[in-house]
Structure 1
Amino acid sequence: MTDSVDPTSLVHAFVRAINSQDIDAAVDLFVPRGFIDDWGAVFRGHAEIRRWMTTDAIGADARMTILDSSLDGNVVAVRFAWVSRVFTGRSTGMFTVIGDRLSSFTISSEN
């Protein structure tokens, strides 16, 4: 990856990795100490992100669809639909980008 990329392209790459069930691609999008905050449960670092991918996302046959998004600097806010064996519904999320990687993905309920 380059030194700086369009933050929305990283979000779309994350969605493609989830929907194609590519755990390695999804994990590799994050900086080494990046994290996923899934409604308050925090998974920090590649090993814990991989665990979340295995239990709550790709390993649960997740499908993610972005319903709308907005960009503010290096933060992409999304509203998305999620279908899996663990959860099905709509949520909001905030992706934060540092350089050419995701530093965080915070998920909360749709307001």
Structure 2
Amino acid sequence: FDFIKGNIRHFAFFPPGGGGILAHSLARVASLLKVREADQSGDGIESVINKVESYLAEGKLAEAADCLEESVQGTQAAEIVAGWVKQARNRAISEQAVVFLQSYANSISLT
């Protein structure tokens, strides 16, 4: 996630397929100058990044993926995060399957 944070900040300002060179340059400068939000209560991109990082710290991959996907929907950032969201969901499914199989193995060993 750390790898794509900078791009999310930059491309969250653009609609899909939109923005020329000047718009991209201004967005890059704005994303570098933007003050980082400490709380998670807002709906700005920094609040979203903070929420996603909190979910990741708690091991809630599916929630992190959902939060990020919903927040960047309708922007160019949606294209950037699509791969990460898919990988996060796949990992969450895999981890859930491992927990299920471990529980099943434990129940079999007890009988």
TM-score, structure 2 normalization: 0.30
Instruction: Give 1 or 2: higher strand fraction.
Output: 1
Instruction: Give 1 or 2: higher helix fraction.
Output: 2
Bigger Rg, which one: 2
